[in-house]
Protein backbone atom coordinates (compact mmCIF):
# COMPACT_ATOMS: atom_id res chain seq x y z
CA UNK A 1 0.00 0.00 0.00
CA UNK A 2 1.48 3.38 -0.94
CA UNK A 3 1.68 6.13 1.67
CA UNK A 4 1.58 9.90 1.44
CA UNK A 5 5.36 9.85 1.91
CA UNK A 6 5.66 8.32 -1.56
CA UNK A 7 4.43 11.60 -3.04
CA UNK A 8 6.17 14.97 -3.24
CA UNK A 9 4.60 18.38 -3.85
CA UNK A 10 6.92 20.49 -6.00
CA UNK A 11 6.79 24.14 -7.11
CA UNK A 12 8.07 25.00 -10.59
CA UNK A 13 7.81 28.05 -12.83
CA UNK A 14 5.29 28.28 -15.66
CA UNK A 15 7.18 28.80 -18.96
CA UNK A 16 6.25 31.40 -21.58
CA UNK A 17 3.91 30.23 -24.32
CA UNK A 18 5.26 29.34 -27.75
CA UNK A 19 3.30 29.68 -30.99
CA UNK A 20 0.12 27.55 -31.03
CA UNK A 21 0.36 26.81 -27.31
CA UNK A 22 -2.15 27.60 -24.59
CA UNK A 23 -2.00 27.73 -20.79
CA UNK A 24 -4.58 25.85 -18.76
CA UNK A 25 -5.58 26.35 -15.11
CA UNK A 26 -6.65 23.17 -13.36
CA UNK A 27 -10.10 22.99 -11.77
CA UNK A 28 -10.97 19.31 -11.28
CA UNK A 29 -8.82 16.18 -11.36
CA UNK A 30 -9.66 12.53 -11.08
CA UNK A 31 -7.95 9.86 -9.00
CA UNK A 32 -8.62 6.28 -10.02
CA UNK A 33 -7.58 2.79 -8.89
CA UNK A 34 -5.85 2.01 -12.21
CA UNK A 35 -3.18 4.57 -11.30
CA UNK A 36 -1.83 2.10 -8.75
CA UNK A 37 -0.73 -0.13 -11.62
CA UNK A 38 1.34 2.71 -13.06
CA UNK A 39 3.37 2.88 -9.84
CA UNK A 40 5.34 -0.27 -10.55
CA UNK A 41 7.46 -1.62 -13.40
CA UNK A 42 5.22 -4.20 -15.00
CA UNK A 43 4.13 -4.87 -18.56
CA UNK A 44 0.73 -3.28 -19.02
CA UNK A 45 -1.51 -1.45 -21.45
CA UNK A 46 -0.17 1.91 -20.23
CA UNK A 47 3.33 3.06 -19.34
CA UNK A 48 4.31 3.42 -15.66
CA UNK A 49 4.75 6.77 -13.95
CA UNK A 50 8.35 7.99 -13.82
CA UNK A 51 9.91 8.75 -10.44
CA UNK A 52 10.59 12.46 -10.12
CA UNK A 53 8.18 13.38 -12.92
CA UNK A 54 4.62 14.70 -12.57
CA UNK A 55 1.89 12.08 -12.36
CA UNK A 56 -0.88 12.09 -14.95
CA UNK A 57 -4.61 11.73 -14.64
CA UNK A 58 -7.91 12.91 -16.03
CA UNK A 59 -8.74 16.58 -15.49
CA UNK A 60 -11.24 19.25 -16.49
CA UNK A 61 -9.71 22.72 -16.71
CA UNK A 62 -10.00 26.18 -18.26
CA UNK A 63 -7.73 27.98 -20.73
CA UNK A 64 -6.42 31.28 -19.33
CA UNK A 65 -3.86 32.24 -22.03
CA UNK A 66 -3.67 31.16 -25.64
CA UNK A 67 -1.65 31.49 -28.82
CA UNK A 68 -3.88 28.92 -30.51
CA UNK A 69 -6.85 29.88 -32.69
CA UNK A 70 -8.65 26.58 -31.98
CA UNK A 71 -8.32 26.74 -28.20
CA UNK A 72 -9.21 30.20 -26.93
CA UNK A 73 -9.26 31.87 -23.52
CA UNK A 74 -12.27 30.74 -21.53
CA UNK A 75 -12.64 27.36 -23.21
CA UNK A 76 -13.05 24.38 -20.91
CA UNK A 77 -11.03 21.31 -21.83
CA UNK A 78 -10.90 17.67 -20.84
CA UNK A 79 -7.35 16.33 -20.64
CA UNK A 80 -5.04 13.85 -18.98
CA UNK A 81 -2.56 16.20 -17.29
CA UNK A 82 -3.97 16.21 -13.78
CA UNK A 83 -1.83 16.28 -10.62
CA UNK A 84 -0.76 19.86 -11.36
CA UNK A 85 -2.22 23.35 -11.07
CA UNK A 86 -1.28 24.55 -14.57
CA UNK A 87 -0.26 22.90 -17.82
CA UNK A 88 0.64 23.89 -21.37
CA UNK A 89 -0.40 22.21 -24.60
CA UNK A 90 -0.70 22.86 -28.33
CA UNK A 91 -3.86 20.77 -28.52
CA UNK A 92 -2.37 18.17 -30.83
CA UNK A 93 -2.83 15.24 -28.45
CA UNK A 94 -5.83 12.99 -28.90
CA UNK A 95 -6.53 13.13 -25.16
CA UNK A 96 -7.39 16.87 -25.15
CA UNK A 97 -10.87 18.00 -26.15
CA UNK A 98 -13.11 20.98 -25.58
CA UNK A 99 -16.25 20.44 -23.52
CA UNK A 100 -19.48 22.41 -23.18
CA UNK A 101 -20.03 23.63 -19.59
CA UNK A 102 -23.68 24.33 -20.38
CA UNK A 103 -24.59 20.67 -20.93
CA UNK A 104 -23.64 19.41 -17.46
CA UNK A 105 -21.46 20.28 -14.46
CA UNK A 106 -17.93 20.19 -15.86
CA UNK A 107 -16.69 17.56 -13.40
CA UNK A 108 -19.23 15.10 -14.80
CA UNK A 109 -16.93 14.73 -17.83
CA UNK A 110 -14.56 12.93 -15.46
CA UNK A 111 -17.31 10.64 -14.22
CA UNK A 112 -20.77 9.82 -15.44
CA UNK A 113 -20.19 11.49 -18.86
CA UNK A 114 -16.54 10.44 -19.05
CA UNK A 115 -14.47 7.26 -19.06
CA UNK A 116 -16.07 6.15 -15.80
CA UNK A 117 -19.56 6.04 -17.27
CA UNK A 118 -18.27 4.66 -20.57
CA UNK A 119 -16.50 1.82 -18.72
CA UNK A 120 -19.75 0.66 -17.14
CA UNK A 121 -21.59 1.07 -20.46
CA UNK A 122 -19.04 -0.91 -22.48
CA UNK A 123 -18.66 -3.59 -19.82
CA UNK A 124 -22.35 -4.40 -19.70
CA UNK A 125 -23.56 -3.74 -23.22
CA UNK A 126 -20.58 -4.98 -25.23
CA UNK A 127 -18.55 -7.34 -23.04
CA UNK A 128 -21.51 -8.90 -21.20
CA UNK A 129 -23.80 -8.48 -24.23
CA UNK A 130 -26.66 -7.23 -22.07
CA UNK A 131 -29.82 -6.45 -24.01
CA UNK A 132 -33.08 -4.69 -23.19
CA UNK A 133 -35.58 -6.58 -21.04
CA UNK A 134 -33.16 -9.45 -20.56
CA UNK A 135 -34.47 -10.23 -17.06
CA UNK A 136 -30.90 -11.21 -16.11
CA UNK A 137 -29.53 -11.40 -12.59
CA UNK A 138 -26.50 -9.11 -12.35
CA UNK A 139 -24.00 -9.02 -9.49
CA UNK A 140 -21.68 -6.00 -9.16
CA UNK A 141 -18.78 -5.73 -6.71
CA UNK A 142 -17.61 -2.33 -5.43
CA UNK A 143 -21.15 -1.41 -6.38
CA UNK A 144 -21.13 2.07 -4.82
CA UNK A 145 -17.89 3.07 -6.52
CA UNK A 146 -17.59 5.27 -9.59
CA UNK A 147 -17.91 2.51 -12.20
CA UNK A 148 -19.91 0.06 -10.10
CA UNK A 149 -22.69 2.51 -9.26
CA UNK A 150 -23.22 3.31 -12.94
CA UNK A 151 -23.09 -0.38 -13.90
CA UNK A 152 -25.79 -1.14 -11.32
CA UNK A 153 -28.11 1.50 -12.71
CA UNK A 154 -27.57 0.63 -16.38
CA UNK A 155 -28.43 -2.97 -15.50
CA UNK A 156 -31.65 -1.78 -13.82
CA UNK A 157 -32.53 0.31 -16.86
CA UNK A 158 -32.12 -2.82 -18.97
CA UNK A 159 -34.62 -4.70 -16.81
CA UNK A 160 -32.25 -6.75 -14.67
CA UNK A 161 -32.36 -7.87 -11.07
CA UNK A 162 -29.26 -6.25 -9.55
CA UNK A 163 -27.25 -7.22 -6.46
CA UNK A 164 -24.38 -5.09 -5.19
CA UNK A 165 -21.54 -5.76 -2.75
CA UNK A 166 -20.10 -2.82 -0.79
CA UNK A 167 -18.02 -2.15 2.30
CA UNK A 168 -20.32 -0.08 4.55
CA UNK A 169 -23.93 0.27 5.60
CA UNK A 170 -23.97 3.84 4.29
CA UNK A 171 -23.21 2.48 0.83
CA UNK A 172 -25.85 -0.23 1.18
CA UNK A 173 -28.41 2.44 2.02
CA UNK A 174 -27.40 4.64 -0.94
CA UNK A 175 -27.67 1.76 -3.38
CA UNK A 176 -31.10 0.76 -2.13
CA UNK A 177 -32.59 4.23 -1.64
CA UNK A 178 -30.99 6.19 -4.51
CA UNK A 179 -29.69 3.77 -7.13
CA UNK A 180 -32.78 1.61 -6.43
CA UNK A 181 -31.08 -1.74 -6.95
CA UNK A 182 -32.78 -4.91 -5.71
CA UNK A 183 -30.36 -6.06 -3.01
CA UNK A 184 -27.10 -4.84 -1.47
CA UNK A 185 -24.92 -6.30 1.26
CA UNK A 186 -21.90 -5.23 3.29
CA UNK A 187 -19.23 -7.85 2.58
CA UNK A 188 -17.28 -6.78 5.67
CA UNK A 189 -20.21 -7.74 7.88
CA UNK A 190 -20.87 -10.93 5.93
CA UNK A 191 -17.17 -11.86 5.93
CA UNK A 192 -15.08 -12.38 2.79
CA UNK A 193 -15.17 -16.16 3.22
CA UNK A 194 -18.98 -16.11 3.37
CA UNK A 195 -19.73 -14.06 0.23
CA UNK A 196 -20.53 -17.20 -1.76
CA UNK A 197 -23.10 -18.33 0.82
CA UNK A 198 -24.62 -14.85 0.87
CA UNK A 199 -25.01 -14.91 -2.90
CA UNK A 200 -26.61 -18.36 -2.73
CA UNK A 201 -29.25 -16.95 -0.38
CA UNK A 202 -29.88 -13.86 -2.52
CA UNK A 203 -29.63 -15.61 -5.91
CA UNK A 204 -30.77 -19.21 -5.42
CA UNK A 205 -31.16 -19.63 -9.18
CA UNK A 206 -27.71 -18.26 -9.92
CA UNK A 207 -26.10 -15.21 -11.52
CA UNK A 208 -26.18 -14.40 -15.24
CA UNK A 209 -23.61 -11.57 -15.23
CA UNK A 210 -20.92 -10.66 -12.75
CA UNK A 211 -19.33 -7.20 -13.15
CA UNK A 212 -16.02 -7.61 -11.32
CA UNK A 213 -14.27 -4.58 -9.84
CA UNK A 214 -12.63 -6.40 -6.93
CA UNK A 215 -11.29 -9.85 -7.85
CA UNK A 216 -10.09 -12.19 -5.09
CA UNK A 217 -12.79 -13.63 -2.84
CA UNK A 218 -15.52 -11.78 -4.74
CA UNK A 219 -14.53 -13.45 -8.00
CA UNK A 220 -14.40 -16.87 -6.33
CA UNK A 221 -17.85 -16.32 -4.82
CA UNK A 222 -19.27 -15.29 -8.18
CA UNK A 223 -17.76 -18.35 -9.88
CA UNK A 224 -19.52 -20.54 -7.30
CA UNK A 225 -22.87 -19.03 -8.23
CA UNK A 226 -22.81 -18.43 -11.98
CA UNK A 227 -25.48 -19.90 -14.21
CA UNK A 228 -24.53 -22.02 -17.18
CA UNK A 229 -23.29 -19.75 -20.00
CA UNK A 230 -22.90 -16.87 -17.53
CA UNK A 231 -20.66 -13.92 -18.35
CA UNK A 232 -18.03 -12.41 -16.08
CA UNK A 233 -16.84 -8.91 -16.96
CA UNK A 234 -13.31 -8.36 -15.63
CA UNK A 235 -13.16 -4.58 -15.18
CA UNK A 236 -10.81 -4.23 -12.19
CA UNK A 237 -9.37 -6.14 -9.26
CA UNK A 238 -8.76 -3.57 -6.55
CA UNK A 239 -8.27 -6.23 -3.87
CA UNK A 240 -5.12 -7.36 -5.71
CA UNK A 241 -3.39 -4.04 -6.41
CA UNK A 242 -1.39 -3.77 -3.18
CA UNK A 243 -0.52 -7.42 -2.61
CA UNK A 244 3.06 -8.05 -1.46
CA UNK A 245 3.15 -11.59 -2.90
CA UNK A 246 1.78 -13.18 -6.04
CA UNK A 247 -1.90 -14.04 -5.90
CA UNK A 248 -2.77 -17.71 -6.39
CA UNK A 249 -5.83 -16.79 -8.42
CA UNK A 250 -9.39 -18.09 -7.99
CA UNK A 251 -9.21 -21.58 -6.48
CA UNK A 252 -12.39 -22.58 -8.31
CA UNK A 253 -11.63 -21.30 -11.80
CA UNK A 254 -12.24 -24.86 -13.08
CA UNK A 255 -15.98 -24.09 -12.72
CA UNK A 256 -15.71 -21.96 -15.86
CA UNK A 257 -15.39 -25.14 -17.95
CA UNK A 258 -18.45 -27.22 -16.97
CA UNK A 259 -20.57 -24.08 -16.68
CA UNK A 260 -19.33 -22.80 -20.07
CA UNK A 261 -18.64 -19.36 -18.64
CA UNK A 262 -17.28 -16.40 -20.53
CA UNK A 263 -14.66 -14.38 -18.64
CA UNK A 264 -13.35 -11.32 -20.47
CA UNK A 265 -11.19 -8.44 -19.39
CA UNK A 266 -11.36 -5.13 -21.20
CA UNK A 267 -9.81 -1.66 -21.38
CA UNK A 268 -12.28 1.11 -22.11
CA UNK A 269 -9.88 2.90 -24.48
CA UNK A 270 -10.33 0.05 -26.96
CA UNK A 271 -14.00 0.90 -27.33
CA UNK A 272 -14.20 4.56 -28.28
CA UNK A 273 -16.36 3.49 -31.23
CA UNK A 274 -19.20 3.38 -28.69
CA UNK A 275 -18.80 6.99 -27.57
CA UNK A 276 -21.64 8.46 -29.65
CA UNK A 277 -24.11 5.80 -28.50
CA UNK A 278 -22.92 6.26 -24.92
CA UNK A 279 -23.39 10.04 -24.96
CA UNK A 280 -26.86 9.70 -26.48
CA UNK A 281 -28.03 7.02 -24.06
CA UNK A 282 -26.48 8.52 -20.94
CA UNK A 283 -27.86 12.00 -21.71
CA UNK A 284 -31.34 10.54 -22.10
CA UNK A 285 -31.08 8.48 -18.91
CA UNK A 286 -29.88 11.47 -16.90
CA UNK A 287 -32.64 13.65 -18.34
CA UNK A 288 -35.23 11.02 -17.45
CA UNK A 289 -33.93 10.77 -13.88
CA UNK A 290 -32.92 7.13 -14.32
CA UNK A 291 -29.31 7.65 -13.21
CA UNK A 292 -28.29 8.96 -9.81
CA UNK A 293 -24.73 10.20 -9.43
CA UNK A 294 -22.63 10.67 -6.31
CA UNK A 295 -19.24 12.37 -5.91
CA UNK A 296 -16.73 12.42 -3.07
CA UNK A 297 -14.72 15.65 -3.25
CA UNK A 298 -11.43 16.53 -1.57
CA UNK A 299 -10.09 20.06 -2.06
CA UNK A 300 -6.52 21.12 -2.81
CA UNK A 301 -3.84 19.53 -4.99
CA UNK A 302 -1.78 18.95 -1.83
CA UNK A 303 -4.49 16.50 -0.76
CA UNK A 304 -4.50 14.51 -4.01
CA UNK A 305 -2.41 11.66 -2.51
CA UNK A 306 -4.86 11.42 0.40
CA UNK A 307 -7.77 11.23 -2.05
CA UNK A 308 -6.02 8.55 -4.11
CA UNK A 309 -5.11 6.39 -1.12
CA UNK A 310 -8.63 6.60 0.28
CA UNK A 311 -9.84 4.64 -2.77
CA UNK A 312 -8.16 1.53 -1.36
CA UNK A 313 -9.83 2.04 2.00
CA UNK A 314 -13.30 2.30 0.48
CA UNK A 315 -13.80 5.84 1.72
CA UNK A 316 -15.55 7.10 -1.42
CA UNK A 317 -19.09 6.81 -2.65
CA UNK A 318 -19.25 7.33 -6.39
CA UNK A 319 -16.47 9.23 -8.10
CA UNK A 320 -13.48 10.46 -6.11
CA UNK A 321 -12.50 13.94 -7.28
CA UNK A 322 -9.94 16.52 -6.24
CA UNK A 323 -10.98 20.16 -6.63
CA UNK A 324 -7.77 21.94 -7.56
CA UNK A 325 -9.02 25.42 -8.47
CA UNK A 326 -12.10 27.47 -9.30
* In the chain, % of residues over pLDDT 90: 84
Q: How confident is the model at residue 242 (pLDDT cuts 50, 70, 90)?
A: confident
Q: What distance lies between CA 306 and its chain's CA centroid?
A: 18
Higher pLDDT, 244 or 84: 84
**pTM of this structure:** 0.91
Please, are residues 106 and 27 in contact by the beta-carbon 8 Å criterion? yes
- pLDDT of residue 249 exceeding 80: no
> Given a cut of 90, is residue 37 above it in pLDDT?
no
Read off the CATH number of the domain in which 102 is found. 3.90.180.10
Cα 163 from Cα 202, distance rounded (Å): 8
- The Cα–Cα gap between 250 and 252 comes to 5
Task: List all residues 6 or more positions away from 7 whose beta carbon is below 8 Å from its beta carbon.
Answer: 304, 305
- Does residue 164 share a domain with residue 74? no
Same-domain check for residues 260 and 136: yes
Number of separate domains in the chain: 2
Question: Is residue 280, in this structure, part of any structural domain at all?
Answer: no
Looking at the fold, whether 123 and 260 belong to one and the same domain comes out as yes
- pLDDT for the residue numbered 247: 72
Same domain flag for 174 and 258: yes
Regarding whether 129 and 67 lie in a shared domain, the answer is: no
Residues 145 and 64 in one domain: no
Beta bridge partners of 298: 322
Do 120 and 104 share a structural domain?
A: no
d(CA 47, CA 137): 37
In terms of domains, do 120 and 105 share one?
Answer: no
Dihedral angle of Cα 171, 177, 181, 186, to the nearest 10 degrees: 30
Section 25-38 average pLDDT: 92
92 compared with 278, residue with greater pLDDT: 278
Q: Report yes or no on 277 lying in a domain.
A: no
CATH number of the structural domain spanning residue 213: 3.40.50.720
On whether both 142 and 243 belong to a single domain, the answer is: yes
Burial 157-185 (b: 16+ CB within 10 A, else e): bbebbbbbbbbbeebbebbeebbebbbbb
Q: Give the domain extent around 256.
A: 115-269
Residue 287 within any structural domain of the chain: no
Contacts of 310 (CB under 8 A, 6+ apart): 298, 316, 320
Residue 131 within any structural domain of the chain: yes
Same domain, 18 and 96: yes
* pLDDT for position 44: 75
Is 285 within a domain?
Answer: no
pLDDT at 103: 87
pLDDT the model gives residue 243: 78
Q: What is the pLDDT of residue 42?
A: 76
Amino acid sequence: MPTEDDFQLVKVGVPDLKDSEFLVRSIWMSVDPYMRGRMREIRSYISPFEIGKPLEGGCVDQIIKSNNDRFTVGNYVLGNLGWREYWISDGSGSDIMKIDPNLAPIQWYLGILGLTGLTAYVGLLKIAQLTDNSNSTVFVSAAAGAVGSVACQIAKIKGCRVIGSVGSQEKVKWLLDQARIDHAFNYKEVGENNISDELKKICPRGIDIYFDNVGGKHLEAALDNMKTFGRIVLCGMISQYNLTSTSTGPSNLFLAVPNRLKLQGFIVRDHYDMLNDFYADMSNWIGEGKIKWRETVIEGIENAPKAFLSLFKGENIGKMLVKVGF
